[in-house]
Structure 1
Amino acid sequence: MTAAVRADDPEELLTRRVLGALHREDVLGLRSAAALEERPDGVWLRGGRLALPVTEDGFQSRWTARRPLLEVDGRPLTGLDEILAAVAGLADPRDRDGHTAFAEECRQALATMRLHDLARPAVLDGLAERLGPDPADWTGPAASLGFDTLAAYLDHPVHPAGRGRAGLTDDQLRGHAPEFHPAFELRWLILPEAAITRHGAGTLPGWWPAPADLGEPGPGFALPVHPLTATPGLAAPVPGARLAERPYLTVRPTLSMRTVAVVEDPSVHLKLPVATATLGLRNRRTIKPGSLVDGAAGQRLLEAVTAREARFAGTVLHADEQCFAHAGHELLAVLLRRQPAGLDGSVTVPLAALLAPSPGGRTVLDHLADRFHGGDVLRLYDELLQLLLDWHTTLFSYGIALEAHQQNTSLVLDRPGGRTRMRLLLKDDDGPRLNTTRLGELAPYAEAFDDARIAGTDDRPVTDLFTTITGHLCTGALAFGLAALGRAPLARTLGLLRTRLTEAVDRLGPAGAPLRTALLDAPDLPVKAMVTAGTLLSKERSGAADINKHYTTGPNYLLEAPR
């Protein structure tokens, strides 16, 4: 998540972010066909019929939109709808539907931003009353959901309309989205046992209902269903299935919204399909059965690496994602995720929440630094860099890169014996990239994945994923965010990032050469092209094999003399 910005009008803020993304992803040649132009008010980029006022960025694009304005044929357009309609009118006719869909995503995001502005003060007051005024004291699995709530108010570092969720009303958001910290009950679908595929040893938790507990006598398996997915036609794909009338089991949403924590057993999360989309029209929040297989396979692979690399045994924790069930349909599935034991006295905070304002206005990072690092925010950032980069570069030496972005990676802090201990907690291991030529004795683990895109024999998909996730979203975003918040000059935060990354790559010896070439020394870095692949263009038009791993390029802020 990006750092908080000044309190702009939501439409102006969103319009600048949208224009910045359209430039970064070179929509209508706003990047490749544009030339710099000096005007009395500052720098512009002009290309063909379009002109955009810009300012230097440096993170994932050299330039970004300076004002919420796009000039078309010399006519200034300032309203978001007006701008997007003009862009759609100039687009290739084959892409018009995608542009129409993106405009709707932006309208949904804007409505959500306005809803956030209204709701946020009361939500933060409620968190302070329930969990305490200092987030550094929010310990245990239940309290960690408060950090998910804080993170949900921040914008995504890449996608401009990341706060939008397709097709949901304000009431549905208030009742089920993490930024409102609601509690609600699940619905349950009774399925014939023969229709269910189950994975994972051991018994289900004691609170898992039998059909009779839901007022549905007779045999069958009770599958939890998110209330937003519990439509009358949900049972149709499975003969003999029926939706129980009685709701059961109170839960709260995590940052991902489709994953919920059980209130009476908060170390257990249930990942459930939700019939919506975020971060792009094609980024649906359903659950393909194969992704459950891949998540379990990914966890086993990571634990095998940890077993071989003893220094990570106590510092990198893995959520247990071996238990899941599905009925062969993307709306009929559940992952039962168990958090590691022993976190009751720890502060567990997703990286996405570190720059979020907390009750009282200070960032979560400020509070954590006060308690665990003597008030030194940079010291905390440095320690995080050392652990995170050591882990991910070690994985690279095995040919592994993870989709362990700022939502899937949590910082775990506590003080056993009075000394600060930092650990990482990883979840959602279903989207890695593997170079099987590096796996060595771990090569058999690659055969367990369902998605054929995961395993290959090339370093490039691995370095691309490392750069865009570990680089941009987990470490680079914090370097730029800390500078934007005035905690340290950008040259210092980026210098620290380059130093720690160089040290981590050096430890690999010759095995780290491709990572050095692709990340430390390259003139440009891959950057996610989320709007293009997720909404504007079809897969046939964009060529995206995976919408979450489709890239453009941006400046390398890790070079010795970054701009």
Structure 2
Amino acid sequence: MSAATPPSAGAAVAAGAAPTVGATPAAGATTAGGATTGADSPVGLLTLRVLSALVREDVLGLRTRGTVEHRADGAWLVAAEHGIAVPVAAEGFQSEYGARLPLVEADGLPVEELDAALTALAARADAEDRPGWTAFAEECRQTLATVELHERVRTEVHTALTDLYGADPADWTGPAAALGHDTLAAFLDHPVYPTSRGRSGLDEHELRAYAPEFHPAFELRWLALPTGTLARHGDRPLPRWWPTPSWLGLDLPGGDAAWETLPVHPLTVGPALDEALRATGLDGRAVLAERPYLTVVPTLSMRTVAVAEDPLHHLKLPLATATLGRLNRRTIKPGTLVDGAAGQRLVEAVLAREPRFAGRILHADEQTWAHAGHELLAVLLRRYPQGLERSVTVPLAALLAPAPAPVAGAGAGRLVVDRLADRFHGGDPVALYDALLELLLDWQTTLFGHGIALESHQQNTSLVLDRDGGLRLLYKDDDGPRVHTGRMTASLGEHAPARAEFDDARIFGDDDRRLTDLFTTITGHLCTGSLAFGLAAHGRAGLDELLALLRKRLTEAVERTGAAAEPLRTALLDAERLPVKAMVTAGTLLSKRRSGAADINKHYTDGPNYLLPYRSSAAEPGPGQ
């Protein structure tokens, strides 16, 4: 038995270790006793992701208080105080270790069924935390059902997408076809959260009717509210398709001038909406139109929908559900609408000072919103920029998704990134990755130099690929930035937005730590690091080559920005360990009181720095090799 020693990142590939982003573990793995675990089945893959997340987040002290025991079949991470052991191998992406077999050992006995494994782990948790474990087990059951559903319908959905937009995703141009890429991305797991494909409380019928992976079209419901009820922002006129009450078939006292309308997602209609109306004193005053109106298509976020006849306009609508953790509700707190609009203005102030990004960094307009003082009675009208009709727009979250085969049985194993590389980068996905790195890291590091870090993760950042081979980036949803007040004020001067323009006081501070944490976990792990590990896992290039490229481009960006970006060199390029999102802990397992998380999306543990130049895949083999 030996103390847990961090292996190198490259060892994960060398050892054929636990799956990272996009990886597939070997089928028919066996335990020390010779039992087949079914590691490549949906439940096996989910179990590996769940156990790896629990190790990464040091749940029950597995990582920091456990020891590595080498057995005949490989390494086991043993938490002796709890009588628990997990079979592990080198991982490298945000954690030294990941699970290599879908099981745990409890008091010396193997537990292979996921529900039973979670029950065994929950029994060792503090009594106050048991409800969180119960909720997490239900998340796992919902996710497994969704993943199995995805396996059944993927081919059918791919066929429908190619019928709509064409055989090659690299030819899906324009804002309507961009929704096809959102659908492809919806079949992938989140790089960090293991049960990301589950949606709390939704059954198969509701998923098929409203979830992005099915690419459905449906009509919205609408509330009519007395004029003056809604807090509004934005001076642009509403689109021509925005309905009046009479358009919805309502004949109300005072006529249309006495009322205003608010869209409502069909999944929100019912007890949740009724309670929201009671809470705001609008029950008996608001009128829900019986006639559905306005056909929309869900985006990757599901609560945001694109208007089918006018897909440059999206509506972000609250949902009475949760994703990425039971505490991560898909409602819309009114303050986030204020912060999103102010965040957009902040980004535009930087763009005005950085002309070299003109036309290369695009941003959706998020200045038009309304709410009735409740998180279920709100809407954001998002307007995308003109001029995207002949471009291919792809969220970073879709790059590693399987691409539809142009002919049945042909092109198997091809990814969206492969198709895009074929068309725009001479068939070289690494060249496409490099082009992405150059612009994305340059922009994000420039923002950091102005004292700004954005929560612009892989869902909120899209590639815009143009016919001439040019690459641009399109951003949205800047309601959760972190700002170094002094540096922002010094760099932007009179153009710097006032703190009073934002609702969330946590956005502003006078140190770089919050900014480097956000930059590392979002721009580093989710937008760039996960792609490096994913491309390597799919055999597109060696992991060492891809990580060296990432380090090189980040170093160039830091040096280009100058002294203001030096905290990134210290915290990201040279640090032994990096902050890592602890999303299961903060989002589901623990209450906010127990986790201490002020913001569940910015609650961190730590992991090894896969960007260190002296990291070597051969220097230290993983424990499972």
Same fold (TM over 0.5): yes
- Mapped to 1, the partners of 2:319 and 2:330 lie a distance apart of 5
Picking from 532, 547, 551, the partner of 1:498 is 551
Query: Which residue of structure 2 lines up, in the alignment, with residue 243 of structure 1?
Result: 288
Query: Which residue of structure 1 lines up, in the alignment, with residue 401 of structure 2?
Result: 356
Query: Which residue of structure 2 lines up, in the alignment, with residue 5 of structure 1?
Result: 24
- Mapped to 1, the partners of 2:201 and 2:424 lie a distance apart of 42
- Mapped to 2, the partners of 1:126 and 1:356 lie a distance apart of 16
Are residue 375 (structure 1) and residue 427 (structure 2) matched?
A: yes
Are residue 154 (structure 1) and residue 156 (structure 2) matched?
A: no
- Mapped to 2, the partners of 1:454 and 1:221 lie a distance apart of 32
Matches within 5 A, 1:484-495: 484-495=537-548
Picking from 214, 225, 229, the partner of 2:264 is 225
Note the alpha carbon deviations across 1:210-238, whole angstroms, 9 max, x for none.
Answer: 00011112331110000000115154332
Secondary structure of the structure 1 residue equivalent to 2:198 = coil
Query: Which residue of structure 2 lines up, in the alignment, with residue 433 of structure 1?
Result: 482
Note the alpha carbon deviations across 1:390-414, whole angstroms, 9 max, x for none.
Answer: 0000000011000100000000001
Residue identity in the other structure for 2:229: A
Query: Which residue of structure 2 lines up, in the alignment, with residue 421 of structure 1?
Result: 470
Note the alpha carbon deviations across 1:287-331, whole angstroms, 9 max, x for none.
Answer: 000000000000000001000000111100010000001100000
- Mapped to 2, the partners of 1:235 and 1:4 lie a distance apart of 46
Matches within 5 A, 1:23-34: 23-34=55-66
Displacement after TM superposition at 1:552 (Å): 0.3
- Mapped to 2, the partners of 1:93 and 1:235 lie a distance apart of 36
- Mapped to 2, the partners of 1:491 and 1:277 lie a distance apart of 37
Contact 2:21–2:537 at 8 Å: present in 1 too? no
Picking from 310, 314, 337, the partner of 1:292 is 337
Query: Which residue of structure 1 lines up, in the alignment, with residue 621 of structure 2?
Result: none
Query: Which residue of structure 2 lines up, in the alignment, with residue 339 of structure 1?
Result: 384
Contact 2:394–2:462 at 8 Å: present in 1 too? yes
Secondary structure of the structure 2 residue equivalent to 1:213 = coil
- Mapped to 2, the partners of 1:4 and 1:327 lie a distance apart of 45
Picking from 139, 148, 161, the partner of 1:105 is 139
Query: Which residue of structure 1 lines up, in the alignment, with residue 501 of structure 2?
Result: 448
TM-score normalised over the length of structure 2 = 0.88
- Mapped to 2, the partners of 1:55 and 1:244 lie a distance apart of 57
- Mapped to 2, the partners of 1:414 and 1:160 lie a distance apart of 34
- Mapped to 2, the partners of 1:176 and 1:561 lie a distance apart of 48
Query: Which residue of structure 1 lines up, in the alignment, with residue 587 of structure 2?
Result: 534
Residue identity in the other structure for 2:486: T
Note the alpha carbon deviations across 1:95-137, whole angstroms, 9 max, x for none.
Answer: 0111111111111111100111111110001101111110010
- Mapped to 2, the partners of 1:27 and 1:2 lie a distance apart of 21
Matches within 5 A, 1:154-193: 154-193=188-227
Query: Which residue of structure 1 lines up, in the alignment, with residue 440 of structure 2?
Result: 388
Are residue 404 (structure 1) and residue 456 (structure 2) matched?
A: yes
Contact 1:113–1:163 at 8 Å: present in 2 too? yes
Displacement after TM superposition at 1:165 (Å): 0.4
Residue identity in the other structure for 1:128: T
- Mapped to 1, the partners of 2:475 and 2:593 lie a distance apart of 33
Are residue 96 (structure 1) and residue 149 (structure 2) matched?
A: no
Displacement after TM superposition at 1:561 (Å): 2.6
Secondary structure of the structure 2 residue equivalent to 1:341 = coil
Displacement after TM superposition at 1:2 (Å): 3.5
Identical counterparts, % of pairs: 67
TM-score normalised over the length of structure 1 = 0.98
Secondary structure of the structure 1 residue equivalent to 2:123 = helix
Contact 1:131–1:138 at 8 Å: present in 2 too? yes
Contact 1:297–1:445 at 8 Å: present in 2 too? no
Residue identity in the other structure for 1:366: D
Contact 1:280–1:535 at 8 Å: present in 2 too? yes
- Note closer, same or farther for the CA distance 1:152–1:518 as it changes in structure 2 (3 Å cut): same
Higher relative contact order (CA 8 A, sep 6+): 2
Q: CA RMSD in A?
A: 1.2
Are residue 549 (structure 1) and residue 621 (structure 2) matched?
A: no
Greater C-alpha radius of gyration: 2
Note the alpha carbon deviations across 1:423-469, whole angstroms, 9 max, x for none.
Answer: 00000010000111111214434431100111111100000000000
Query: Which residue of structure 2 lines up, in the alignment, with residue 328 of structure 1?
Result: 373
In structure 1, list runs of 5 or more residues that go unmatched. none
Note the alpha carbon deviations across 1:483-529, whole angstroms, 9 max, x for none.
Answer: 00101000000000000000000112221211100000000000000
- Mapped to 1, the partners of 2:201 and 2:277 lie a distance apart of 21
- Mapped to 2, the partners of 1:5 and 1:26 lie a distance apart of 24
- Mapped to 2, the partners of 1:314 and 1:445 lie a distance apart of 26
Contact 2:178–2:393 at 8 Å: present in 1 too? yes
Note the alpha carbon deviations across 1:365-416, whole angstroms, 9 max, x for none.
Answer: 111111111111111111100000000000000110001000000000012x
Displacement after TM superposition at 1:353 (Å): 0.2
Query: Which residue of structure 2 lines up, in the alignment, with residue 256 of structure 1?
Result: 301
- Mapped to 2, the partners of 1:324 and 1:547 lie a distance apart of 25
- Mapped to 2, the partners of 1:155 and 1:273 lie a distance apart of 23
Contact 1:224–1:334 at 8 Å: present in 2 too? yes
Secondary structure of the structure 2 residue equivalent to 1:266 = coil
Are residue 200 (structure 1) and residue 234 (structure 2) matched?
A: yes
- Mapped to 1, the partners of 2:105 and 2:386 lie a distance apart of 56
Are residue 36 (structure 1) and residue 55 (structure 2) matched?
A: no
Query: Which residue of structure 2 lines up, in the alignment, with residue 301 of structure 1?
Result: 346
Secondary structure of the structure 1 residue equivalent to 2:511 = coil
Residue identity in the other structure for 2:386: A
Residue identity in the other structure for 1:543: G
Query: Which residue of structure 2 lines up, in the alignment, with residue 17 of structure 1?
Result: 49
Secondary structure of the structure 2 residue equivalent to 1:90 = coil
Residue identity in the other structure for 1:80: L
Are residue 283 (structure 1) and residue 354 (structure 2) matched?
A: no
Contact 1:317–1:423 at 8 Å: present in 2 too? yes
Residue identity in the other structure for 1:513: E
- Mapped to 2, the partners of 1:75 and 1:3 lie a distance apart of 30
Secondary structure of the structure 2 residue equivalent to 1:349 = strand
Picking from 266, 270, 293, the partner of 2:315 is 270
Picking from 246, 271, 278, the partner of 1:212 is 246
In structure 2, list runs of 5 or more residues that go unmatched. 1-19, 28-39, 253-257, 406-411, 618-625
Picking from 120, 139, 161, the partner of 2:154 is 120
Residue identity in the other structure for 2:474: L
Matches within 5 A, 1:450-529: 450-529=503-582
Contact 1:189–1:235 at 8 Å: present in 2 too? no
- Mapped to 1, the partners of 2:399 and 2:182 lie a distance apart of 10
- Mapped to 2, the partners of 1:4 and 1:526 lie a distance apart of 23
Contact 1:55–1:63 at 8 Å: present in 2 too? yes
Query: Which residue of structure 1 lines up, in the alignment, with residue 6 of structure 2?
Result: none
Contact 1:4–1:356 at 8 Å: present in 2 too? no
- Mapped to 1, the partners of 2:496 and 2:509 lie a distance apart of 11
Displacement after TM superposition at 1:4 (Å): 5.8
Query: Which residue of structure 1 lines up, in the alignment, with residue 13 of structure 2?
Result: none
Displacement after TM superposition at 1:50 (Å): 0.9
